[in-house]
Every structure is written in C-alpha cells, then in structure tokens.
C-alpha cells in the first residue's frame, strides 16, 4: 500500500469529502494560499477556490461561530484552529453554542461541523502552543472528540467526522504531521466511537492515543524480548469512548496502564480508569490500574525539559513494569 | 407610509401579543409557575415587530436572551411558546430550553441565546450559507447595547464586512446592559458609530416607532442583499428590570415613567386611529383578539403534560 504522511491523509480526507459533498468547506486562518500553518491544506485553494477554502482574519470565536451558523443552516463546515491552545478563544461557540443547540432546541436542529486543531508538545513552542486539551471537551455532552494516531486512522476518522451530524473536535498532533504510514487510496470511513487494537498481547494492556501510540508500541516490542506480551489499545475517539473494547482488553490481560501526553490531573486517563474499575473487568485485575500522563506543569521551552514533562519510552517502560511488581 | 391594512393589523396584533404574553409571564413568575429567570421585552415591542415585518419568511433571525418579542414577531405558535415557558412537553424545545432558548427553524428563527453576543457569529455563518447556496435571503441579527461591547461583536462585524455578507446587525439599545448605562459602557454616543470601524453603514432609528423601524429594515434588507452588512441601532427602553432579580436601583422612577409615556403600542394605536386606518372599535377588537390568543396559549400550556424523565437524555446527539 502507498504510504503518505498524517498531514497528507488529513488533506486527502478533506478533499475527498469536498468533492463528494458541496456543502463541505474549509474555513480558518491562513488555510488558503499559505496552505495552513502546518501545510495541511496546501493546494486545496487551487482545486476548490476561495469560496470553499476560506481564509479568515484572526478571529477564532467568529470562525467557530460562523461554522456553527453555517452548520445549523445546512452546510458542513470544517474549521481549522491553528493551535489547539487557541480553542480557548472560541470556546463559547463550541461549548455553549455548538454542543447545546440540538438539545436546548428540543432536537429540532443539528450542527454538523468539525473543528480540526493540532495539539501536543515537542516543537519548542512552549506553554501557549503545546497543550493537549482534549479532556476539556470530553466533559461536554453534545460534542464528539477524536484523536487519531496514524495516517490511515486520520483519513478514515476525519471522513466520518465530516459526515457526522454532530459537532466534532478533531485533535491532530503536530509531531505526527510528517510521519508516514500506509493509507488506502479508496473511500473509507472509520466509525467514530470505535477503538482499535494496535498490538495484541496477553500480559498487560496499555490504553493510549495520539502520538503516544507509537511510543507505547515501541515499548511493547522491547518488552516482548523480556517475555512480557503487551496489548496496545487506541480508543481513537475519546468521546464517545468505546468502553466495551477497553473493558474486554482489561479483563483479558488483568493489568492496565493508561498513557497520554495531556497533564495527568483531570486527564481522560482518569475517566478510562474509572470505566474499567466500575466494570466486571475489575474482578480480573491483578494489579491496580495505573495512569501515566504529562506532569502537572505548563510545557517548558528548554528541549530537555520539554521532552521529559510528557511520557517517554523510559517512563512508559517503568510504568508497565510496576504493574508486575 | 403606504402599507396594506392587513399588514398594519398584523403588526399591531403582534405588538399586543408580545405585551400580553410578557404580562402573563411576569404574573406566572410571581405565582411560581415559570421558574428560573426571564428577560421581559415590555416597552421594546416596536423593535422586533418593525424589524421582522420587513423580513420575508425565509429570512433568518438570531435572537438574544430577551427574545420573546423576536420569536412572536417572526411568526410562532403562541401555544407552543407558552408551553415552553411552563416547561411542558408540547413546548418548542420539549420543555428543555425554556425562556432563553426558543427557536423555530421552520420560520427562520435560529434561536434565542443565553450568552450575550453569542448569536452574532452564528448570524455571519448563516449568511455564509445563503451566499454559498446563492440565496437572496438575508439574516437579521438582534443584539443589545451590552453585546456591542463584547469581543464577538467586533469579530462578527469584521467578518461580515470583509465578505460583504447579507447581515442586518440590529442593535436594540435599551440604554442599559443590566445595570450599566450606555453612557458609562462606551465612549461613543451611538452604537451605530461603531459601523465606521468596519466600513459599513450605521444608522440610528427611533426604536419606539414601529413604522420607522419597519422602513429602516426594509431599506437595510435591500442594502444587505446588494452590498453587504449594515448596522442599525434602535433606541428604545425596557420598562421592567433586566431579569427577575432586578430592583431597579440604577435608574429613577421618573425616567421609567417618562419612557412609559412614549409607549410604542399606544403611539401606534394613535397613528392608526388618527390616520383613519382603523376605527376605535376595530382597534378594540384587535386588542380583544390579542388577549384571547394569549389566554388560549395559557390554557394549552397549562393542560399540557410535563416531559417524562425518560426523555431527559434524548437529543444530546443527532
């Protein structure tokens, strides 16, 4: 299968959907001629024109708000927010408007829109351009939250998100944009709310998403040499969670580690741990469920500090081994 | 102005519907039948009725926390609206939205909004849809003087202006953002002056004169369709408090009494009578009809059941 980057896969998903459905359009800062701050939409302006690849001024609240208004009146906008940290500026529109409209209007409206936004550290951009804020939005009924870890998942999940009739927050990751992987050329969707077992194993389960999936798979390969067989499960969609898949993997292996880059306190790891602890899988556990998130600090600038405030292969390995103590 | 009699009758009836509706809601509040809070529109009826009467049915509006008048003016089923305020299953939002969230998409009403300034960008998005679908309809965005100081106002007007979208930004300046007088909340006299920052026209109209509002919006509608957004500011006054908790400590009785002298409904009645459009007895009949319509809405609402707890998780997702 041909290999393309995560960024190319996202662009391919948008282009395919825009060719398929004229209601779909891209709106955001510098998405046109510039091609997006991370180059995701390079070339789309030439194919679709200024009307459907719509550059905006620096107005995050109005970009998301205009997407809400367009969605309620029959379009299917994809809004790009240049860094997920800037979602804070448009949060009223996402949380108080997009997520609530259907419910508070008694089911008469729908809000089919996607907010695409890159998160995560590792680029030396420090505290205001490196956060992982996905858990915030998982606390909002009415939203869906997606965080793909591979190019193939990114394409299939984004196409599903664009076709979904609800507001979807689609967390991309800056460090994954240039990573390549096999991506089917044909039209396919990956249903939202469905986890994927990235590696099968029987001794312990690591539940992780986004860029941490690759690190966890590397750890799993290394530990296989020591006779420890790890299963790596990627929920892919964080809201709604594929609880069944997480619970059955936990019941199968009896040991669970949850890894994410977002700070540990209030992170989605706590929710996943609770889902498992409250389920029948609890009776199969051989060790307490363990979380490994980012340190509870803003992302620092200095490269050595930055690298070590989020889980690394070393700290993931240590955390896995603790499950066997 | 050369308006058909039936149109004038409809405008007068709607103004009365709003007044009677709000009086009933205020009464229910004191009885505890309506809970939570409501923001009543009494005194501002000429704004909503004048504006919406100049629109076509397919035109969109976005409304505000003080939205009852907008809903009634855009055309609504009074029964279902009253039922919503009483939290009933038959209400517009199945009892889940209440006073601040009534919407009727089938009549172009994109909904009231509990967040001050929350509807402005949504109006821009709706106008974007009209542009992309090559429709010749417009969006009228209601907001207050308070919202003109929110950041969303700037972003939305700027976006609409650079894209020349068909939006009528309709500011109901009732002189106070909750307790804050406009003289203290902004450093220009008129909200309409802010239009200059976006290179769009800004006009002030008498928000207590329904025909003046009507003709201003009619013109604005033509302008918006051909040239892009326009900012209208209707000067008006809310007679009652901001919400139920308001003790009116920030304004004088004399000021309120003075504005009540300029009642938009009384002055419209006077106009209709003096110009021989309707006789006094015809106008009385319209007034009786308005009261009777609201009584029927109350009866419908009171007889409707509350939603079952089984429905509480419905409609979170499409």
Quote the CA–CA distance of B46 and B214 in Å, as a whole number. 9
Q: Which residue has the higher pLDDT, B99 or A228?
A: A228
Residue A220 has pLDDT above 80, yes or no: yes
- Residue B122 near chain A (CB below 8 Å): yes
| Mean pLDDT of all residues in A312-323 | 98
* Predicted pLDDT at B36: 86
pLDDT band at B244 (very low <50, low <70, confident <90, very high): confident
| Mean pLDDT of all residues in B181-201 | 97
In terms of C-beta density within 10 A (0-12 exposed, 13-18 middle, 19 or more buried), how is residue B172 classed?
A: buried
- Residue B289: Cβ within 10 Å count: 14
Q: Chain B: give the shortest CA distance to residue A186, in Å.
A: 27
pLDDT band at B247 (very low <50, low <70, confident <90, very high): confident
Quote the CA–CA distance of A52 and B261 in Å, as a whole number. 52
Q: Chain A: give the shortest CA distance to residue B112, in Å.
A: 10
For A123-144, the pLDDT digits (tens) are 999 999 999 999 999 999 999 9
**Which residues of A are tagged catalytic?**
129
**Contact at 8 Å (CB) between B145 and B175?**
yes
* DSSP code per residue over chain B: ----HHHHHHHHHHHHHHHHHHHHHHHHHHHTSS-S-----TT-HHHHHHHHHTS-TTSEEE--SS-HHHHHHH---HHHHHHHHTT-TTSTTTTSS-GGG--BGGGTB----SSTTTTHHHHHHHHHHHHHTT----EEEEEETTGGGSHHHHHHHHHHHHTT--EEEEEEE-SEETTEEHHHH-SSS-GGGGGGGGT--EEEEETT-HHHHHHHHHHHHHHHHHH--EEEEEE---SS-SSTT---TTS-HHHHHHHHHT-HHHHHHHHHHHTTSS-HHHHHHHHHHHHHHHHHHHHHHHHSPPPPGGGTTTTS--
* Predicted pLDDT at A32: 97
- Residue B94 near chain A (CB below 8 Å): yes
Residue B35 has pLDDT above 90, yes or no: no
* Predicted pLDDT at B164: 98
| Mean pLDDT of all residues in A191-216 | 98
- B121–A103 CB contact, under 8 Å: no
**Domain at A3-182, CATH class:** alpha beta
Residue B2 has pLDDT above 80, yes or no: no
For B68-80, the pLDDT digits (tens) are 999 999 999 999 9
- Residue A102 near chain B (CB below 8 Å): yes
pLDDT band at B243 (very low <50, low <70, confident <90, very high): confident
Domains of chain B with CATH codes = 5-302 (3.40.50.970)
B176-177/B180-181 β-pairing: antiparallel
Angle, alpha carbons B52-B55-B57 (nearest 5°) = 100
Q: Chain B: give the shortest CA distance to residue A44, in Å.
A: 18
* Predicted pLDDT at B126: 98
- Domain spans, chain A: 3-182, 196-322
Residue A205 has pLDDT above 90, yes or no: yes
For B203-237, the pLDDT digits (tens) are 999 999 999 999 999 999 999 999 999 999 999 99
**Contact at 8 Å (CB) between B177 and B211?**
no
Q: Chain A: give the shortest CA distance to residue B217, in Å.
A: 22
**Nearest CB partner across the interface for A142, out of B97, B121, B316:** B316
* Predicted pLDDT at A124: 95
Q: Chain A: give the shortest CA distance to residue B210, in Å.
A: 28
**Nearest CB partner across the interface for A104, out of B62, B96, B122:** B96
- Residue A64 near chain B (CB below 8 Å): yes
For B103-121, the pLDDT digits (tens) are 999 999 999 999 999 999 9
- A65–B92 CB contact, under 8 Å: no
Q: Looking at beta carbons, which residues of chain B come within 8 Å of A162?
A: none
- B315–A106 CB contact, under 8 Å: yes
A14's enclosing H/E stretch is helix A6-20
* Predicted pLDDT at B201: 98
Nearest Cα residue to A320 out of A204, A191, A156, A168 = A204
* Predicted pLDDT at B23: 96
| Mean pLDDT of all residues in A177-199 | 98
pLDDT band at B1 (very low <50, low <70, confident <90, very high): low
- B128–A66 CB contact, under 8 Å: yes
Strand partners, A181: A4
Q: Looking at beta carbons, which residues of chain A come within 8 Å of B113?
A: 97
**ipTM entry:** 0.95
Q: Looking at beta carbons, which residues of chain A come within 8 Å of B155?
A: 57, 59, 61-62, 65
For A58-80, the pLDDT digits (tens) are 999 999 999 999 999 999 999 99
| Mean pLDDT of all residues in B176-193 | 96
pLDDT band at B33 (very low <50, low <70, confident <90, very high): confident
Q: Which residues contact A163 (CB under 8 A, 6 or more apart)?
A: A17, A189
For A30-41, the pLDDT digits (tens) are 999 999 999 999
**Which of 3.40.120.10, 3.30.930.10, 3.10.620.30, 3.40.50.920 would CATH assign to domain A196-322?**
3.40.50.920
- Residue B151 near chain A (CB below 8 Å): yes
Q: Looking at beta carbons, which residues of chain A come within 8 Å of B125?
A: 65-73, 77
* Predicted pLDDT at B181: 96
pLDDT band at A121 (very low <50, low <70, confident <90, very high): very high
CA torsion sign for A242, A244, A245, A247 is positive
- Residue A49 near chain B (CB below 8 Å): no
The percent of residues above 90 in pLDDT, for chain B, comes to 93
| Mean pLDDT of all residues in A253-265 | 98
């Amino acid at each position: 299968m041909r290999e393309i980057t995560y960024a190319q896969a996202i662009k391919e998903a948008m282009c395919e959907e825009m060719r398929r459905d004229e209601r779909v359009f891209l709106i955001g800062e510098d998405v046109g001629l510039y091609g997006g701050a991370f180059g995701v939409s390079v070339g789309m302006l030439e194919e679709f024109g200024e009307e459907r690849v719509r550059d905006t001024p620096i107005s995050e609240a109005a970009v998301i708000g205009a997407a809400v208004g367009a969605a309620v009146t029959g379009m299917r906008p994809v809004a790009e927010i240049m860094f997920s940290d800037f979602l804070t500026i448009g949060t009223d529109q996402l949380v108080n408007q997009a997520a609530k409209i259907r419910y508070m209007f008694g089911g008469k409206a729908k809000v089919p829109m996607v907010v695409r936004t890159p998160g995560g550290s590792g680029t030396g951009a420090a505290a205001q351009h490196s956060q992982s804020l996905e858990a915030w939005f998982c606390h909002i009924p009415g939203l869906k939250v997606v965080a793909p870890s591979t190019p193939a998942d990114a394409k299939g999940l984004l196409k599903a998100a664009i076709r979904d009739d609800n507001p979807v927050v689609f967390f991309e990751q800056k460090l994954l944009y240039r990573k390549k992987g096999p991506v089917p050329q044909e039209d396919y969707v990956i249903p939202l709310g469905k986890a994927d077992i990235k590696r099968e194993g029987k001794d312990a389960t690591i539940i992780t998403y986004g860029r941490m999936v690759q690190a966890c798979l590397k750890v799993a390969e290394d530990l296989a040499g020591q006779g420890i067989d790890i299963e790596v499960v990627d929920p892919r969609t964080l809201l709604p969670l594929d609880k069944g898949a997480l619970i059955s993997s936990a019941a199968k292996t009896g040991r669970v580690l949850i890894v994410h880059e977002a700070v540990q306190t209030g992170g989605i790891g706590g929710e996943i741990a609770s889902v498992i602890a409250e389920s029948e899988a609890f009776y199969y556990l051989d060790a307490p469920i363990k979380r490994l998130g980012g340190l509870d600090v803003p992302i620092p600038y200095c490269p050595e500090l930055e690298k070590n405030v989020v889980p690394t292969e070393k700290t993931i390995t240590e955390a896995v081994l603790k499950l066997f103590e | 102005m050369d308006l058909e009699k039936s149109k004038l009758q409809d405008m007068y009836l709607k103004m009365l519907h709003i007044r009677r509706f709000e009086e009933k809601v205020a009464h229910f509040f004191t009885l505890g039948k309506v809970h939570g809070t409501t923001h009543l529109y009494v005194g501002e009826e000429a704004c909503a009725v004048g504006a919406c009467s100049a629109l076509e049915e397919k035109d969109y509006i976005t409304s505000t926390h003080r939205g009852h008048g907008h809903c009634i003016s855009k055309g609504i089923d009074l029964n279902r609206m009253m039922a919503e305020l009483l939290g009933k299953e038959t209400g517009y939002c199945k009892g889940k939205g209440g006073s601040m969230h009534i919407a009727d998409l089938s009549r172009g009403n994109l909904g009231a909004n509990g967040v001050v300034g929350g509807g402005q960008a949504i109006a821009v998005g709706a106008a974007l849809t009209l542009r992309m679908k090559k429709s010749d309809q417009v969006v009228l965005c209601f907001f207050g003087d308070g919202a003109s100081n929110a950041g969303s106002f700037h972003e939305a007007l700027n976006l609409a202006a650079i894209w020349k979208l068909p939006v009528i930004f309709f500011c109901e300046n009732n002189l106070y953002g909750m307790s804050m007088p406009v003289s203290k909340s902004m450093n220009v006299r008129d909200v309409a002056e802010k239009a200059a920052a976006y290179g769009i026209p800004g006009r002030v109209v008498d928000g207590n004169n329904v025909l003046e509002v009507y003709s201003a919006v009619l013109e604005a509608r033509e302008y918006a369709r051909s040239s892009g957004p326009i900012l209208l500011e209707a000067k008006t006054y809310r007679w009652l408090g901001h919400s139920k908790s308001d003790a009116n400590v920030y304004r004088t009785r004399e000021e309120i009494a003075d504005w009540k002298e300029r009642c938009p409904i009384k002055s419209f009645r006077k106009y209709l009578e003096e110009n021989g459009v309707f006789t006094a007895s015809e106008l009385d009949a319209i007034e009786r009809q308005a009261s009777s319509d609201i009584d029927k809405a109350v009866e419908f609402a009171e007889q409707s059941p509350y939603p079952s707890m089984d429905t509480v998780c419905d409609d979170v997702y499409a």
